[in-house]
Amino acid sequence: FMETPHCQRIVFGHEGGRLVRIASSSGHHLLLHRTQTPAGERLSRIELVQGGTRGNLVEYRYDDNGQLTGVVNRAGTQVRQFAYENGLMTAHSNAAGFTCRYRWQELDGAPRVTEHDTSDGEHYRFDYDFAAGTTTVTGRPGESWQWWYDRETYITAHWTPGGGMYRFTYNEDHFPVNIELPGGRTVAYEYDIQNRVVKTTDPEGRVTQTQWNGEFDEITRTALDDDAVWKTQYNAHGQPVQETDPEGRVTQYAYDEQGQMCSRTDAAGGTVVTAFDSRGQMTRYTDCSGRSTGYDHDEDGNLTRVTDAEGKVVRIS
């Protein structure tokens, strides 16, 4: 199972080493169904049996090679469709009919996409030079992009259609330490031993220094070289409880037992109060003037009614 610091839990049920059930502390219970294809077993549908209207949330369809050919949503509408040749995806379409098509070619011992077009009329050609470590993409006349790679396939340079050249330098852990922008401008980064950015120098030479909370990897202090400083304090769960800006103005946050933010008080003393149900959906929002808006949801989590501060109701179906 998985559990948050607030005891919200997702439990996984297995049979024969396969995941067959998922249940949550919010009351949802899902069953995972499978089907046999000539290529083996595949996930065929996910069924909601508790926590909302019973039925399939999603269905998956496959060809005789076990490749995904369609995705059907809860309403029975096919929202994704895929086509293949020789085991390679040649097209996919969404519910609106937008289609992307791909043509492949065997290059350097592996299949590569050499052309890509869309139902909107876009067309791109891909050219590879593996010895030089470059890839070039050509679109409309006069429109091309180029990428250079190192031996570990990290991008070292990028050329844009507008003639801009970008160059990238990495540290031994493959994090960028220097990015050269068009016109010779640069951005530099320094990292701590956990590879978190602690210093950034922009093209104008301005420096931003960052301090981190070691337990949750949260930023606790950001300082500019003009002495402007932002500070953040966190609770035991890694949630911000107080923010202080360079002018000394303080914003405070409070949370309910589920870990949802239930109030925010700004530097002027104005407080926003929020309330949530057991599923984490907002049920009430009260602004700094005390005016409240209420929200109602159905058993599937869909918003069905909004009641404003004057008592006016908007129903949604």
If you write DSSP's letter for every residue of 239-257 in order, what string do you get? -EEEEE-TT--EEEEEE-T
Give, as one character, the DSSP assignment of residue 194. T
CB of 44 closer than 8 Å to CB of 34:
yes
For 39, 81, 275, the CA distances from 261, given in Å and listed in that order, are: 48, 40, 8
The CA distance from 184 to 232, in Å, is 35
Q: What is the structure's pLDDT at 215?
A: 73
The CA distance from 296 to 285, in Å, is 12
125-130 average pLDDT score: 97
- Name the 3-class secondary structure at 275: strand
The CA distance from 187 to 205, in Å, is 9
pLDDT(5) > 90: no
Mean pLDDT score of the chain: 96
CB of 276 closer than 8 Å to CB of 283:
yes
Beta strands 250-255 and 282-286 are unpaired
Measured in degrees and rounded to the nearest 5, phi and psi for residue 182 equal: -55, 145
Q: What is the structure's pLDDT at 214?
A: 80
Measured in degrees and rounded to the nearest 5, phi and psi for residue 95 equal: -65, -25
Burial of residue 62 (number of CB atoms within 10 Å: 0-12, 13-18, 19+): buried
The CA distance from 195 to 7, in Å, is 30
In angstroms, how far is CA 132 from the centroid of its own chain?
A: 33
Q: Which residues pair with 188 in a beta bridge?
A: 178, 201
What's the pLDDT tens digit per position in 71-118?
999 999 999 999 999 999 999 999 999 999 999 999 999 999 999 999
Q: Position 191: which residue type?
A: Y
The CA distance from 74 to 81, in Å, is 16
Structure tokens at 65: 């090679």
Q: What is the structure's pLDDT at 7?
A: 87
Least confident of 66-70, 214-218, 251-255, 268-272: 214-218
The CA distance from 194 to 189, in Å, is 14
Split at pLDDT 50, 70, 90, the class of 264 is: very high
Which residues make Cβ contacts (< 8 Å) with residue 227, sequence separation at least 6? Answer: none
Percent of all residues in the chain with a pLDDT value above 90, rounded to a whole number? 95
Instruction: Compute how many other C-beta atoms are within 10 angstroms of the C-beta atom of residue 304.
Output: 15
pTM of the predicted model, to two decimals? Answer: 0.85
* Element of type H or E holding 24: strand 18-24
What's the pLDDT tens digit per position in 210-260?
999 987 789 999 999 999 999 999 999 999 999 999 999 999 999 999 999
Instruction: Compute how many other C-beta atoms are within 10 angstroms of the C-beta atom of residue 117.
Output: 16
Our CA angle for 285, 291, 296, nearest 5°, is 40
What's the pLDDT tens digit per position in 33-61?
999 999 999 999 999 999 999 999 999 99
